[in-house]
């Protein structure tokens, strides 16, 4: 993402596919990626309010944010994308898509792109990272 990114700008043309072909459930990162937009310090150099707007838009569609480190534009093949762990930790209960994934026995946890580990499916409550650097406001 470039520093000149403005609110309302169209995101990447394709977010890819978070659906795990083997299990039929969406993938979510098992931990936050190194530059997660939900880590303190604005590691992605987003303009003020941009992350909150992304979350608002995702929640308005009962959806989620796809981790930027897994997007096709970063060289990851389509079909290897995953839901942002930071978004999941903060907003999964607010998104019908995330709640549905949990109700169906998911999500499938996968490591961030710079780590290697076999994906595992397990209930959401057991896979929270435990740290919420962001306090959610209405």
Judge whether 19 lies within some domain.
Answer: no
Question: Cα(3)–Cα(103) distance, rounded to whole angstroms?
Answer: 38
Residue 135 inside a domain? The answer is no
Whether 54 and 134 have beta carbons less than 8 Å apart is answered as: no
Kind of pairing between the strands at 27-29 and 120-121: unpaired
User: So what's the pLDDT on residue 115?
Assistant: 63
Establish if 132 belongs to a structural domain: no
Q: How far apart are CA 61 and CA 69, in angstroms?
A: 22
State percent of the chain over pLDDT 90.
Answer: 70
Higher pLDDT, 3 or 23: 23
Q: Is residue 21 part of a domain?
A: no
Average pLDDT over residues 117-130: 40
Look at residue 14 and tell me if it is in a domain: no
pLDDT (mean) for 49-69: 97
In a domain, 85, yes or no: yes
Q: Could you tell me the residue range of the domain that residue 89 belongs to? A: 27-114
pLDDT digits (tens, 9 = 90+) for 70-94: 999 999 999 999 999 999 999 999 9
Number of domains in the chain: 1
pLDDT band at 15 (very low <50, low <70, confident <90, very high): confident
Closest C-alpha among 56, 16, 67, 57 to residue 137: 56
The answer to whether residue 20 sits within a structural domain is: no
State the pTM of this model.
0.74
Q: Is residue 17 part of a domain?
A: no
């Amino acid at each position: 993402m470039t520093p000149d990114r403005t609110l309302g700008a169209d995101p990447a043309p394709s977010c890819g596919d978070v659906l795990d072909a083997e299990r039929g459930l969406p993938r979510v990162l098992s931990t936050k990626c190194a530059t997660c937009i939900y880590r303190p310090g604005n590691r992605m150099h987003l303009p003020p309010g941009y992350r909150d707007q992304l979350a608002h838009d995702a929640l308005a569609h009962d959806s989620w944010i796809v981790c930027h480190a897994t997007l096709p534009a970063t060289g990851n093949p389509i079909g290897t994308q995953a839901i942002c762990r930071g978004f999941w930790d903060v907003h999964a209960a607010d998104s019908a898509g995330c709640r549905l994934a949990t109700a169906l026995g998911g999500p499938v946890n996968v490591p961030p792109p710079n780590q290697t580990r076999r994906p595992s499916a397990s209930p959401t409550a057991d896979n929270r990272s435990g740290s919420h650097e962001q306090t959610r406001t209405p």
